[in-house]
Amino acid sequence: MGNTAFLMPGQGSQYVGMLGKLDAYPKAQQIISKVNGVLGFDLVKLMKEGPIEELTQTENTQPALVACSAAWLEVAKEKGLSCQFALGHSLGEYSALYAAEAIDIETALRLVRRRGELMRDATSKIPGTMGAIIGLPAEKVKEICQEASKTGVCEMANFNSSGQIVVSGEVEAVKKAMELAKEAKARLARLLQVSAPFHSSMMDPVAEVFAKDLEAANINDAKFPVIANVNAKPVQKASEIRENLTKQINSPVLWEKSILQVVAMGVDNFVEVGAKNVLTGLNGQIVPNLTTSNTEAMF
């Protein structure tokens, strides 16, 4: 028997009713019951009832997904699941750090709410978005970004699998990239359900300010390795965690490399902990020979 890694989803996995199955688990409800008090508004109602437009605003999406993953983590533990590694996609890195006990739930929720507010404010004057391109090599996507950049900022932001790359930037430039990708015979090119251009240079001002929030936050050494998005390397020291979380804001997510890294470290079983099954689907492309399950389908 090899090792298990928990996967924590990021933005785009939110949906109205995302807490539905968790009603049956008292320990999950203990997590959910803390959310509104920590944040000072009724996020739980928004997660349960919507509207989706409000839930998809990044300052709401981020704490919603962390709360959902933290609650599902309680269910996973109750069912006897444990892991030797954790990794989270973008925002999901906070859920992974919570799983590794580097941050408590209150700290995680406050940090990601603040992160979301800063990201929202950074794009209030120049709106941004992201788009997924499936079925083109990285070199071609790079060319497309260079061409689309004549319209505005457009950069490669998520290296999800060899066949799926997400670009990020100004709305018109990303739309242009989607057109160019279709012309280049991409299998799919579509805008994502996100409200800001994450992991792009448009987030530079956010990284600068948020570094101070991370410095002041109560972050401990992780109990087991968490694979960092920015370099696909295992991290446990609090100082490195802070540094990586700052860089993560305006750097690409090296997701495929992160998955291959834990496989090289002996992982042969993955469990996606949280809303939907986006990362389960990506694993089907990256490591189709290994088992990946997700908590929503399992329990």
Q: Are residues 32 and 47 in the same domain?
A: yes
Q: What are phi and psi of 86, to 5 degrees?
A: -140, 150
* pLDDT of 295 higher than 70: yes
Q: Which two tokens stand for residue 216?
A: 């002041």
CATH number of the domain that residue 99 is part of: 3.40.366.10
Q: Are residues 239 and 265 in the same domain?
A: yes
Q: Are residues 149 and 211 in the same domain?
A: no
Question: Rounded mean pLDDT of the chain?
Answer: 97
Task: Point out the catalytic residue in the list 13, 199, 251, 258.
Answer: 199
Domain that holds residue 80: 3-122+202-298
Mean pLDDT of 51-63: 97
* pLDDT of 110 higher than 80: yes
SS (H, E, C) the chain: CCEEEEEECCCCCCCCCCCHHHHHCHHHHHHHHHHHHHHCCCHHHHHHHCCHHHHCCHHHHHHHHHHHHHHHHHHHHHCCCCCCEEEECCCHHHHHHHHCCCCCHHHHHHHHHHHHHHHHHHCCCCCEEEEEEECCCHHHHHHHHHHHCCCCCEEEEEEEECCEEEEEEEHHHHHHHHHHHHHCCCCEEEECCCCCCCCCHHHHHHHHHHHHHHHHCCCCCCCCCEECCCCCCEECCHHHHHHHHHHHCCCCECHHHHHHHHHHCCEEEEEECCCCCHHHHHHHHHCCCCEEEEHHHHC
Confirm if 225 and 85 have CB atoms less than 8 A apart.
yes
Q: How far is the CA of 29 from the CAs of 19, 21, 62, 83, 164, in angstroms?
A: 9, 11, 19, 22, 35
Q: What's the alpha-carbon Rg for the chain, to the nearest Å?
A: 18
What is the per-residue pLDDT for 125?
Answer: 86
The answer to whether 199 is a known catalytic residue is yes
Q: Are residues 74 and 136 in the same domain?
A: no
Q: Are residues 75 and 216 in the same domain?
A: yes
* pLDDT of 238 higher than 90: yes
Task: Point out the catalytic residue in the list 90, 200, 251, 258.
Answer: 90
* pLDDT of 111 higher than 80: yes
* pLDDT of 1 higher than 70: no
- The domain boundary, picked from 194, 228, 244, lies at 194
Q: Are residues 174 and 60 in the same domain?
A: no
What is the per-residue pLDDT for 207?
Answer: 98
CATH number of the domain that residue 145 is part of: 3.30.70.250
What is the per-residue pLDDT for 2?
Answer: 84
Reported as type and span, the H/E element at residue 133 is strand 128-134
What is the per-residue pLDDT for 193?
Answer: 83
The answer to whether 82 is a known catalytic residue is no
Q: Are residues 105 and 250 in the same domain?
A: yes
Q: Are residues 100 and 18 in the same domain?
A: yes
Q: What is the pLDDT of residues 161-208, one digit of tens each?
A: 999 999 999 999 999 999 999 999 999 999 998 889 999 999 999 999
What is the per-residue pLDDT for 297?
Answer: 96
- The domain boundary, picked from 150, 178, 194, lies at 194
Q: What is the pLDDT of residues 134-158, one digit of tens each?
A: 999 999 999 999 999 999 999 999 9
Give 182's Cβ-side CA count (13 Å radius): 9
Q: How many folded domains does the chain comprise? A: 2
